[in-house]
A and B are shown apart, each in its own frame.
Chain A
Amino acid sequence: MVLSLKRNKNAIFLVLPAVLVSMSVVLVPAIMTFYTSLTNWNGFTADMEFIGLENFRYLFNNKYFWTALTNNIIWTFLFLTIPVVIGMGAALLILNRKRGRDALQVVFLLPYVLSSIVNALIWKNVIYAPLSGVVAWLNNTFGLGIPALLTTRGTALFAVAGVDIWHYWGFLCIVYFAALRQVPTDQVEAAKLDGANFFQQFRYVYYPHIRPTFLLLSIMIIIFSFLAFDYVKLLTEGGPAHATEMLGTLAYTLAFKEFKLGRASAAALFMSLFGLIASGIYIKINQSEERY
């Protein structure tokens, strides 16, 4: 009993630094954000009046909050499909290549390691530019009639997402590839001998093995989709006419352009809420799979 208590004390002592760090960088800011969302704090004065759910009422009555939420959901759907399909497809293709796959991995990862501002400037001023960029060249050479993708309301969100997907899919590819390489080759060979085609091999051999990685990345995609900010801010500033407004850009405007930190915190809570829901689902799935 005494030994157990001593062991527990040691364990608590060893765990304490990590708990303290986690609390100070995660829990305390989270509680502060929650509390701030119930106040009218402007971000730079000591005055902070408790106003209950007024900030949430403001958000629910603000049509651009709903635009932002809808855009975040569309963004999540786009990121759960397009880069996943491209990344997985590319990973499967390089899996069976013996030569050059290391070089290909570096090439695929390049957009991911470039800074977002560089990527955004390239796409905005070299590719999408409708007067002097690649789009202009396509229009002038082939008469394609491509509209100004970043500045047309109907295409702006997809144009921004396209840039972020271009930057992100390589990362997914590399992680999927790393997971696929761990699949036991004897099982793959056995499936081949049994006459399984490529899709059957993927469905019944590869996928069950990489499922934990796949699930984890999917959850991360959902979390990051609700935190989307940098490419939207750099490429469109949420415009034109709020067409690309996201919860992140809305919270930023409320905090640093309008000096309404309480409202910004309320918007930020919605960003976290969806991430929390996704994390909960992930934990639930993990728990149910561990039982078997």
Chain B
Amino acid sequence: MKKSLCMILAIFLVLAPLGGCGDSGTTQGSAGTPAAGGMSGEGERVPITMWFWAAAPFQRDAFQAHLVDAFNNSQDEYELILEFQEGVDDNISVALSADQGPDIVYGSGPAFVGGFAGGGKLANLDKYAEKYGWADRLLSPFYDACTVDGSLYSIPGGLTSTGYCFNQKVLDDNGWTLPTTEAELVSILDQAQELGMYSALTGGKDWRPTNELFVNIFLAHYAGPEVVYQCLTGERPWNNEYVIEALKMCDDWYQKGYFAGDDYWNLDYSEAAQLFVNERSPFWFGPTLLFQFIQREADPSQTGGIKFANFPNFREGLPDPVYDIGAVCSYSINAASKNPDGAAMVLDMMLTPEFAGNMSKAWAGYWGIPIRDLSNIDMSGAGALNLNYLEACFEIVETVDNGNFSYNAATFFPASTFQRVIDIDTVWEGVATVEELVVEIDAAYKDDVDAKLVPSIPRTGR
């Protein structure tokens, strides 16, 4: 009996690890899913896998209803399987490096895509772009940004632009009007501080790359889009007077406490949202993405007067208005996917006004997909906050369509350049000077050029 038990255990121990050696097959989250018409049995749907960040429950519900269920009900060949993951950015990078990962690749934007596309980890989407007419549907700067060497490798997620949310009630209570010049804005920031409020809320507690937002603001509204374009295309070194002055101005604002004062590193976006809706500041500096945190943290009765505004220019001679633009994320198809056609069908669904509208009604701040007919979506029944978010998106889309845009660092700056940009905190903390930092940014950019990591940069002002 004892001997038999030992034999069974021994066989089990030998076979158990072998079981893990096979193809991961239909398990969630693997690109090694059965090929369409191949391994899947008759009547079985072929799984299409996708990873996404660990969204809040109401956001997951919206995603499930308007993407997963909508896609799965629209056809009977594929089944979209969505997995929410903590640290999805890192997980995707590691998985792709090992030729693994889901069929649909969530990425942080074109800069991320450039590296992996160059490495053959992402599928070329040109044939799908032609089949579905994506070039006509997307705003051209976003389409161009998603190309690598002229070929499409991703589609953009919701558009984002750095500006600020303002609380109309706080402005009204204090007799302030929405600022249209730097002087008016700074005046309110100073007055708010004197009243014991935060000049503006923000926070980098859980996400050091938050630093890039403040570089975005001053590059767009002081250095200007043309200078940033020239830097990103190598026509002008980063170590130039406009970038230096822009970063000095950024440092000056930090030192004056305009970025949540002493609490910049002590606040995350959830905490900042709660302080903002509780009228602890007239402004919250950040991207259009802020709406999603406000929606998540606040009661709808507190959010009706919250809207988004763009910064005024801080220097003469710049196009006005100018928005820095980026995408909250990108979606690609894994080169290792055995079902790229099904994955492309999912991407196509995400580029429709119906999807953008349905998602934005349920989930403000994230799903303003940069398509030309975004303003045609039906928003009847949407809450005030969701409407205010989409109004901001419509204005950004119109401005970008006219060619006035600058470049969001997270979307357009190549990997090492981006890391040096978020090192702006070394200037804030007195570890480095602006002059030293721009030299490092310049060196990092050259490294990125050598490593072929610079994404396509759409021409501003065209």
Contact = CB atoms under 8 A, between A and B. Distances in A.
Interface of A: 40, 42-46, 129-132, 148, 150-151, 153, 237-243, 253, 256-260
B267 A131 contact: yes
6 contacts: A42-B119, A42-B451, A44-B97, A45-B119, A241-B431, A243-B429
Interface stretch (B49-57, B88-96, B340-348, B376-384): B88-96
Given A241-B431, A258-B419, A259-B415, A44 B96 contact: yes
Contacts of B453: 42, 259
A257 B120 CA distance: 18
B115 A259 contact: yes
In the A-B complex, the 6 residue pairs with the smallest Cβ-Cβ separation, listed nearest first, are A44-B119, A151-B265, A241-B429, A45-B119, A241-B426, A258-B416
Contacts, number: 71
Interface in B293-332: none
B133 interface: no
- Give the one of B115, B119, B266, B450 with max A CB within 10 A: B266
A153 B428 CA distance: 11
Contacts of A42: 115, 119, 451, 453
Interface string B215-244: 000000000000000000000000000000
Nearest to A151: B265
B281 to A, nearest CB: 14
Contacts of A46: 120
Contact of B121 (A44, A238, A260): A44
A240 B266 contact: no
B208 interface: yes
Contacts of A238: 208
Nearest to A58: B447
Interface string B412-432: 000110110001011011010
A257 B266 contact: no
Contacts of B271: 131-132
A260 B115 contact: no
Contacts of B120: 44-46
Contacts of B118: 45
Say what secondary structure dominates the interface of chain A: loop
B453 to A, nearest CB: 6
B367 interface: no
Contact of B90 (A43, A148, A256, A259): A256
Contacts of A148: 262, 265-266
Contact of B425 (A129, A150, A241, A253): A241
Given A241-B426, A256-B94, 20 more contacts: A40-B450, A42-B115, A44-B97, A45-B119, A45-B120, A46-B120, A131-B263, A148-B262, A148-B266, A151-B265, A151-B266, A153-B431, A238-B208, A241-B425, A242-B431, A253-B419, A258-B415, A258-B419, A259-B453, A260-B451
Contacts of B291: none
Nearest to A45: B119
Contacts of B97: 43-44
A253 B422 CA distance: 12
B207 to A, nearest CB: 8
A258 B93 CA distance: 11
A44 B426 CA distance: 30
Contacts of A132: 271
Contact of A239 (B263, B425, B447): B425
Interface in B78-133: 90, 93-94, 96-97, 115-116, 118-121
Given A148-B266, A259-B451, A239 B208 contact: yes
Contacts of B418: 257
Nearest to A148: B266
Interface string B424-462: 011011010000000000000001001101000000000
Contacts of A40: 450-451
B121 A241 contact: no
B270 to A, nearest CB: 10
A241 B254 CA distance: 14
Given A237-B208, A242-B426, A257 B116 contact: no
A253 B267 CA distance: 23
A285 B383 CA distance: 72
Contacts of B119: 42-45
A54 to B, nearest CB: 11
A242 B431 CA distance: 9
